[in-house]
Amino acid sequence: MASSDTVTSTEYIRHHLTNLTFGRHADGSWGLAHSIEEANEMGFLAIHVDSVLWSLVLVGLFLWLFRGVAKKVTAETPNGTQNFVEWIIDFIDENVRGLFNAKNDFVAPIALTLFCWIFLMNLMDLVPVDLLPWIFDRTGVAHFMKVVPTTDPNVTFGFSLSVFAMMLFYSVKIKGVGGFLGELTLQPFEAKNPLIKVLFIPVNFFLEIVGLLSKPVSHSLRLFGNLYAGEMIFILISLMFGAGAVLTVFGGALQFVWAVFHILVITLQAFIFMVLTIVYLDMAHQHH
C-alpha cells in the first residue's frame, strides 16, 4: 500500500508500472525478474508474462461468451445475453458497411475481434490498482502484476503491426506488386513528361513511405498513450488512501468520478482502433 512505512510514493508508482518479466538474468540463467532493475536488464528478448496472461484470459472470455451464445441462439425467445451480443454484432456490421467499400467477408470478424478484445483489456483498468497485485504478491505467485495489457506498448504494437501486415497483404493481393509500388512512387506528384515523372519517383516514395510507416506507429501509440495515462491517474489517486481520513474520502470520491469518465475513454479507444483498422483495410482494397 502507498501508506506503508517501507514504500515511498516513487517506489509505489514504479512497482505498479513494472511488468512481470521473464528473461535472461545477468548470470546467464533464465527466470522471472524479482526487482525493477532485473526487469530492465533483461533486454529485448524478455517476455511480459502478465501482458500475455491477461491477453489470453480476456480473449478466452470473449470466445467463450460469443461461442456460448452462438450455440444457443434462438429467434423465438432470445435472452438478455443474446440480445447484447447481437447488438454488438449489428454495431460492428453497421460500421463495416459504412467504412469498407470493397468485398471481403474477413473484415467484419477482424473488426469484431479487435473491438471486443481491446475493450476487455481496457476494462481491466477499472479493477482497483492494488487488488490483483496484492493477491498475487501475498500468494507468492508473482511480485509484479500489471493487469491492463493495453498499457504495455508491446501489446498495442502487436495489434497495430498485425493490422499493418494485413494491409500490406491485401494491397499486394488486390493491386498486384506493380500497382502497390506504383502507389508508393507515382503519387502525389504526377507529370506527363517521362523524364519529370522519373525525377518525381524518389520524392513520391519518400513521402508515401513515411505516411505508410506512420500508420502502425500512430495506431499503436494512440491506444497505449491513452490507457497508460488513465492507469497512471488511478495510481496517483490511490496514493491518497492511507494518508489520513480526509484524503482517503476525497481519493475515493475522485477515483469513482474518474472511473465513470474512464468508461467512456476505454470504449472510445477500442472503437477508434477498430475504425482505423477498417479504414486501413479499405485503403488497401482501393485502386488509384
| Catalytic residue from among 51, 171, 226, 238 | 226
- In degrees rounded to 5, what are phi and psi of residue 214? -70, -20
The residue count of the chain comes to 288
Work out the angle between the directed axes of helices 107-123 and 153-185 (0-180°, nearest 10): 150
Q: Which three cell numbers stand for residue 171?
A: 494491397
Containing 23, the helix (H) or strand (E) segment is: strand 21-24
Residues 199 and 143: their CA atoms lie apart, in Å, by 59
Q: Which three cell numbers stand for residue 261?
A: 469518465
What are the counts of helices (DSSP H) followed by strands (DSSP E) for the chain?
9, 3
- Find out whether 204 and 188 touch, Cβ atoms under 8 Å: yes
Neighbour-count burial of 267, counting CB atoms closer than 10 A to its CB (0-12 exposed, 13-18 middle, 19+ buried):
middle
DSSP helix/strand/coil, 31: strand
| Catalytic residue from among 138, 218, 220, 238 | 218
Number of Cβ within 10 Å of residue 7's Cβ equals 12
**Dihedral of alpha carbons 56, 62, 65, 67, sign:** negative
DSSP helix/strand/coil, 30: strand
Side-by-side strand order, sheet with 21-24: 30-32, 21-24, 47-48
226 annotated active-site: yes
Residues 221 and 8: their CA atoms lie apart, in Å, by 30
222 annotated active-site: yes
Residues annotated as part of the active site: 218, 222, 226
